[in-house]
Structure 1
Amino acid sequence: MNLKNRFFWVAAVIGLILDQLTKYLVVINFELKETLPVWSEVFHLTYVTNTGAAFSLFSEGGSWLRWLSLAVSLGLIVLAWLGPRLNIWEQLGYGFILAGALGNGIDRFVAGYVVDFLDFRFIQFPVFNLADVFINVGIICLLISSLQQPPPASRARN
């Protein structure tokens, strides 16, 4: 079987598994709002819940985010399955974004909130999770891809 965009699927599956596994481990090993200093006052593992988007944006009335996660996930799956063969950076980018959208989307549909636990205190950053990391890594991959491709006007002249 020749699977088009295979790096998309690999990034999405591995990212989703890592996201859900780490959230599960936090939920079974921590009490809500419990914190474990890994490096005191720099990085802690802190179990919190978030009804909003990444980094607690839209935390009030964010129930629409579950449907956005679903729509983004379905759109990315259709792109990878039915769309053109993507370059490796696009495959990784869209795959990681899918992993993040599915990871947080599953939480929103099942529990009504997202489990966050990565707490960088030295910069007073909101607590977040691996799904948030994967979405940002995916965006970086897409930026790299866009920098590698010539602008559309120069492609037309060649």
Structure 2
Amino acid sequence: MIFLLILAIIFVLDMLSKHIISKRIKEGQQIEVIKNKFYITHIKNKGAAYGMLSENRGLLLLSSIGSLVILSKLFFDALKNGKSSLTKASLAMVLGGGLGNIYDRIFKKEVTDFLYVKYKKAPIFNIADVFVALGITLLFVKELFSKD
């Protein structure tokens, strides 16, 4: 199924990108990609966005696992019940990204973040975060304009 493949590709891209960053760029190092706009900045994050819940790893892990269980149910129900391709692709993106970050939280006790867009107080994020945000946005817009 194409949507399981999308999920798997996102997970692998996320894992691969984090591995490359961890091996090639020192933690704390910042590389300017687009002058004053975009940087590769290697950090380790023990919490959620902006380090939230870093002091309460158990709650973060529990809420992450709970969210992924619910998303998995929605995803497999969408596959089984013939939901729109956009719904299935959006859920695959969110689930693929979510699995990437939860894998790190469980097995590495921290998440590798490295993408930084210099804008006010923007967080440093990773490939998983990009797909989670993109999937949620697409699903929201689809539901907003859906005539179902």
Pairwise TM-score range, normalised by the shorter structure: 0.7 to 0.9
TM-score using structure 1 length:
0.81
Identify the match of residue 28 of structure 1 among 23, 36, 39: 23
Amino acid at match of 1:106: Y
The share of aligned pairs that are identical, in percent, is 28
Q: RMSD of the alignment, in Å? A: 1.9
Structure 2: runs of 5+ lacking an equivalent: none
Match of 1:11?
6
Match of 1:94?
91
Q: Please show how residues 8-157 of structure 1 align to structure 2 within 5 Å.
A: 8-82=3-77, 83-150=80-147
Distance of 1:13 and 1:27 partners within structure 2? 21
Name whichever of 106-115 and 85-94 sits farther off. Answer: 85-94
Q: How many residues align?
A: 146
Distance of 2:3 and 2:65 partners within structure 1? 17
Amino acid at match of 2:45: N
The 1:77–1:32 alpha-carbon spacing in structure 2 relative to 1, beyond 3 Å, is same
- Counterpart contact for 2:53–2:59, Cα < 8 Å: no
Deviations along 1:53-104, whole A, 9 cap, x unmatched? 1343333324422232222223333333355222111101111110111011
Distance of 2:3 and 2:98 partners within structure 1? 14
Structure 1: runs of 5+ lacking an equivalent: 1-5, 152-158
TM-score using structure 2 length:
0.86
The 1:54–1:9 alpha-carbon spacing in structure 2 relative to 1, beyond 3 Å, is farther
Amino acid at match of 1:105: I
- Counterpart contact for 1:89–1:144, Cα < 8 Å: no
The 1:86–1:112 alpha-carbon spacing in structure 2 relative to 1, beyond 3 Å, is same
Distance of 2:140 and 2:21 partners within structure 1? 32
Distance of 2:50 and 2:135 partners within structure 1? 16
